[in-house]
Amino acid sequence: MGVATVGGVRLHYDVAGPAGGEPVVLVMGAGGRGRAWHLHQVPALVAAGHRVITYDSRGVPPSDPGEAGLTVGDLAADLAALIEHLDAGPCRLVGTSLGAHVVEELLLTRPELATAAVLMATRGRDDRLRAAAARAEIELLDSGIALPRRYHAALQAIQNLSPHTLDDDIEVSDWLSVFEQSSSTGPGLRHQLAITPAPGRLAAYAAITTPCLVLAFADDLVTPPHLVAEVAEAIPGAVHRLITRAGHYGYLERPEEVNRQILEFFRRVPARSPGGVPPVGPTGRPFARAGRAAPHARVTSP
C-alpha cells in the first residue's frame, strides 16, 4: 500500500497489474475501503491487462478523516489529484454509490482525466425516503449509541443484499459473518454520509461528454433502479443496464456479471479518440460528445 499526500490530504492506495497496463481507478462508496474491490473486480481487470488503482477516500481510515462540510467536490478533487500523482490520466473509472457520484463530478470538472466511466448504484437526487434514511443514520451516529454487532450485521444484510441472497441460508450466514467484522465507524463516515446530490444536479449531467455505462441493481433498496435510470437518461449517450438478482452490493453479489459488463464496455471504448472521432459504444453508434446526444440504451441482464 502506498500513501499519497495530495492537496494536504493523505490518501492510502494500492496498485495492481502490469506497469504498462491501461489504468483503471476504482472508487468505493461511503465508508467503504478500497480493498473491497480486490475480492472480484481487481483480479478480473488485472487479468484483462489493466493497471488497477484502488484507494481509501478522505473520511475512510487509514486515509485522513476530513472534517465537517466535506463535499463531493472535495472528494472529486482528491481523486483528480491522486490520478495526477500516480501519472494515471487519462484513465478509466469505476465508481459505486457515493463513489459513482464522485466520478460524475470529476467528469464535469476534470473530463481530460477520464476516457470512460462505469457508474454503479448512483443517483442524481434524493427522494424523500433516501433523504430520511440518511438523516436517521447521521442522527444515530451523533447520538453515540453503538448498535450490537449482530443487529448491525442483520440490518446491513437486509438493506444491501438481494432477496435471492437472503433466502439462501448458507450464503447469508457468510455475509452476516463479514458484516459483523467490518462495521464502519468514526467521524469520517459521518462526513461522507452527509454528502447528498445537490438539487438540480441531474441537469448538470447533460454536460458530461465521457462515454458512460450506468449499472443498476434490480433489488437495490439504497439506490433503487428508477433513480439510477434518471442518471442514465441525463448523461448524453450513456448506456444503461439493469442487473437482476442483485442488491446495493451487486458488484459483490453478482461479480461475474458486473465484471463482464465492465470489461465489455471498456473493450468497446478506445483508450483515446484518434482524430477527434467519437468512440463507438456498445450500441454500435458513436458515443455522444458535447452538443450531440446519442440514443439512450437500457438492457436487462439476467
The residues that are catalytic are 97, 220, 248
Q: Please state the φ and ψ torsions of residue 184, each to the nearest 5 degrees.
A: -95, 140
Which grid coordinates belong to 113? 482525466
- Residue 54 CA to residue 35 CA, distance in Å, equals 7
Q: Which helix (H) or strand (E) holds 156?
A: helix 149-160
- Residue 255 CA to residue 265 CA, distance in Å, equals 15
Which grid coordinates belong to 163? 432477496
> Bridge partners of 27?
95
In the sheet where 23-27 sits, what is the strand order? 2-6, 9-16, 51-56, 23-27, 91-96, 114-120, 212-217, 239-243, 297-301
What are the E-state strand segments in 191-237? 212-217
Look-up: residue for cell 471498456? 266
Strand duo 23-27 + 91-96: pairing:
parallel
Which grid coordinates belong to 62? 487509514
Buried b (16+ CB within 10 A) or exposed e, 136-171: eeeeebeeeeeeeeeebbbebbeebbbebbeeeeee
> Bridge partners of 297?
239
> Bridge partners of 55?
13
